[in-house]
Amino acid sequence: MKLFRLLNFILVVVLLLTACGSANSAPTLPPTSSLPQPAVTIRSAPDVNAALSAYLDAYKADDYNAMYAMLSKVTSAALSLEEFAKRNKDALNEMSAGTFDYEILSALMNPLSAEVSYRVTYHTVLVGDLQRDMVARFSLEDGAWKLQWNAANILPELAGENALRMDYRIPSRGDVYDHNGNPLAAQSDVYAFYIIPGNVNEDNIGSLTARVWALCGISQDVLEQDILNTPDQYAIPLCEASPEESAVIRSAAPSGLQWAQYTSRYYFEQGSSSNIVGYTTYISADNLDEYKRRGYQGSERVGNAGIERSMEDALAGKHGGALYVVNLSTGQIVTKVGESEPQPSQSVYLTLDRNFQTYAEKSIEGFRGAVVVMEVDTGRVLAMATSPDYDSNIFETNNPNSSERIAELFQRTDDPLLNRAAQGQYPLGSVFKIITMAAGMESGLYIPETTFDCQYDWTKLPDTIRRDWTWQRCQNRLQSGRECNTSDSMPSGLVTLPEGLMRSCNPLFYDIGYTLYQNNRQNDIANMARAFGLGSATGIGQITEAVGNISDPQTAVDVVNQAIGQGDMMVTPLQVAKFIAALGNGGTLYRPQLVESIRPIEGAPTQVFKPEATGVLPVTPERLQVIREAMIQVVENSRGTANFRLRGTPVPVAGKTGTAESGSGLPHAWFAGYTLCKDVADKYPVCKDKPDIAIVVVLENIGDGSEWAAPIFKRMVEVYYFGAPQSQLHFEVGILGPTKTPTPFGGIPTETPSE
């Protein structure tokens, strides 16, 4: 209406001026009725409220380019995009404002300018909600409203040369403990050890390397060669240790060994559980804005992996601070906007057992692979080892060994940062036959008494002759001039379904897959595998995990390959541990649990994590018991594929061997099983007060599961029940762990049933 009145006023003035001109010159005009009437177009101004909303929405999205494009020419001429973005971003960061809301209150418009009143509520982490009423001034330029910006459009207090400053109050970081209260990560005095070769006494080099091996786990042979091949004054970094861990070696002080003391966050036992606990680093420039808006000053160390990252909120505590407006010219405080007190950090207690975890790591040192141990009735993870691994202490910048050890870490090509237990993806091989057996029985096409003549060959598909594992053993014996007359080199013959699992008869399981395909049930095995938890995340939560792959087979060949755990299927050791635990407890799938509780320095836990059942294996109790009995026979029957290597295990166990073709090099060795203490505790005193556990072992490109993975399974059982190994593995040189490059110790017995 205002614009229309203005146009009418202008038209009247024009007519009056025309009339005045007419009086002076008196031109002759045609009659008014004969003049053409001009078309008058009345254009409405754009919506100024919409312009402000667009600007504030861009601000909420940190889209400073879009915001800058909405500024008036005068504003943008006086202020570069970089400076504009910095001032706005810095204000949000300093306020610790992760989000804000706005409300447009009113608008006053003129033809070429407008003023809009609006209210902004900043939701800050450190000083609560900050609500301010402000005015945005616009000018109409090229048909669009442009903002005449100044710092008061962020907060009224910032008009002129004022800026925001936060005085941060930062609590110390919380600790990480195992379920027994043994520290895994905590602030501590630490010793960084290194060797100066020129100071080594040649007569004592053996004693030096032995003591270093005992503390750091570095091979004596490897270290001795490093000493001999390194310039005299060049430092060879070793490892870090707490005062208690290093008391013996420091008191001995062998020649050539030196150390530097520092204070830092320390990961105990030279970084035991690093693949789970993770590490901290300084906040990167790329993440600075995010952390500032979460209330961080920006100079803190924050979790970068594992528990340190996923439990950051508990471990970091709640920051506090006081927000001030300061004058940039004088440096004086103008006013205090708000403040809050910090809240102490809390400690995180894991389900892990530090001693058990350390032995699990030692058991696979020198291999590539993983070990997972969890309670069958709860899903609580007691150990999760991966190899090769890393030591979280190398990321502590106070550590004098840090830079060199980090450089060495990132030069490696064996993926030490990959947690193979949760992120490693492998074909499962014959351990998968458990699932195929379940699918066969649940289809109704197979019963436990179904028999099959298990010979070397299976030829029902025209593409190739498929072999049993005993055929390759026979070929190996023939090549060495021996006869195929042992149980691991002769066909299994006529077997029932559970006997087929005990013997891991490939032709039987090829036949199950083929029969299902012929009966239009080609997806039964894949569906059963998914119901067992394969091909999807376990839900462990606090660490990164891969999901693997279980696809629906498209051809008979696909089904037959899938039936023995080959083809395009991929699983993680953690997924396998989850379903093995379910077999051990009678069919309940539990979410693997890593965190037991969150606790303050004093007082009761603020959060306790409970076991969580996520499903049930879709197998009838009777059929499930058939599978369980077959897994017991894998170990106890003299023809079982794990019998030879698991003799002397201190408690009854059930399990399944697996040897999975990897596509390159030797096959992956698997063993998966569980203990059977619950029903025999009266006969085995070591079972008392010890929940049954599921154990999964995988070793990459090493050979048969019975030869390599089953012995490590036995080692884990011994450590669980006795606190330390009770026997020597056939490939070990010493009781404490394999050599740097594991090699068979004394050869592989030819009479061993193996798969």
pLDDT in tens, 287-317: 999 999 999 999 999 999 999 999 999 999 9
| CA-CA-CA-CA dihedral for 235, 240, 244, 250, to nearest 10 | -10
Assign 31 a pLDDT band (cuts: 50, 70, 90): low
Mean pLDDT across 717-735 = 85
506 vs 5, which has greater pLDDT?
506
- What is the pLDDT at residue 681? 85
* Closest C-alpha among 233, 225, 228, 222 to residue 194: 233
Name residue, tokens 């203005």: 6
Measure the CA–CA gap between 247 and 255, rounded to whole angstroms.
16
Mean pLDDT across 371-390 = 98
Would you say residue 49 has pLDDT above 90? yes
pLDDT in tens, 310-323: 999 999 999 999 99
Determine which of 7-11, 210-214, 749-753 has the lowest per-residue pLDDT on average.
749-753
Measure the CA–CA gap between 36 and 45, rounded to whole angstroms.
28
CA distances from 573 to 355, 420, 422, 548 (A): 21, 8, 6, 10
- What is the pLDDT at residue 4? 42
Measure the CA–CA gap between 132 and 531, rounded to whole angstroms.
55
The sign of the CA dihedral 623, 643, 467, 566 is positive
Measure the CA–CA gap between 699 and 240, rounded to whole angstroms.
28
pLDDT in tens, 328-357: 999 999 999 999 999 999 999 999 999 999
Mean pLDDT across 126-154 = 96
Residue 62 phi, psi (nearest 5)? 55, 35
Would you say residue 394 has pLDDT above 70? yes
- What is the pLDDT at residue 488? 87
658's CB contacts (< 8 A; 6+ apart) are: 428, 429, 430, 431, 432, 565, 668, 669, 670, 671, 672, 705, 709, 755
Would you say residue 373 has pLDDT above 50? yes
Residue 641 and residue 502 in contact, taking contact as beta carbons nearer than 8 Å: yes
The alpha carbon of 526 is separated from its chain's Cα centroid by a whole number of angstroms, namely 26
- What is the pLDDT at residue 755? 74
Find the angle CA(34)-CA(37)-CA(40) to the nearest 5 degrees: 175
Measure the CA–CA gap between 711 and 392, rounded to whole angstroms.
29
Would you say residue 20 has pLDDT above 60? no
pLDDT in tens, 274-286: 999 999 999 999 9
499's CB contacts (< 8 A; 6+ apart) are: 492, 630, 633
- What is the pLDDT at residue 462? 87
67's CB contacts (< 8 A; 6+ apart) are: 55, 58, 59, 84, 85, 88
CA distances from 486 to 475, 656, 752 (A): 12, 21, 8
Name residue, tokens 């009247």: 12
Measure the CA–CA gap between 77 and 541, rounded to whole angstroms.
51
Would you say residue 487 has pLDDT above 70? yes
pLDDT in tens, 530-582: 999 999 999 999 999 999 999 999 999 999 999 999 999 999 999 999 999 99
- What is the pLDDT at residue 442? 98
Mean residue pLDDT across the chain: 91
Residue 215 phi, psi (nearest 5)? -85, -50
Mean pLDDT across 28-37 = 50
Measure the CA–CA gap between 401 and 406, rounded to whole angstroms.
9
Residue 318 DSSP label: B
Assign 42 a pLDDT band (cuts: 50, 70, 90): very low
The sign of the CA dihedral 241, 242, 244, 249 is positive
For the beta carbon of residue 706, count every other beta carbon within 10 angstroms. 30
Query: What domains does the chain contain, in order, with CATH numbers?
Result: 48-158 (3.10.450.100), 185-272 (3.90.1310.10), 280-350 (no CATH), 429-722 (3.40.710.10)
Percent of the chain whose predicted confidence (pLDDT) is above 70: 91
pLDDT in tens, 74-96: 999 999 999 999 999 999 999 99
Name residue, tokens 């003591």: 211
pLDDT in tens, 414-457: 999 999 999 999 999 999 999 999 999 999 999 999 999 999 99
Q: Is 712 helix (H, G, I), strand (E, B) or coil?
A: helix
402 vs 6, which has greater pLDDT?
402
| CA-CA-CA-CA dihedral for 8, 9, 10, 11, to nearest 10 | 50
Max Cα–Cα distance, the chain, nearest Å: 134
Burial class (CB in 10 A: 0-12, 13-18, 19+), 18: exposed
pLDDT in tens, 215-268: 998 999 999 999 999 999 999 999 999 999 999 999 999 999 999 999 999 999
Percent of the chain whose predicted confidence (pLDDT) is above 90: 85
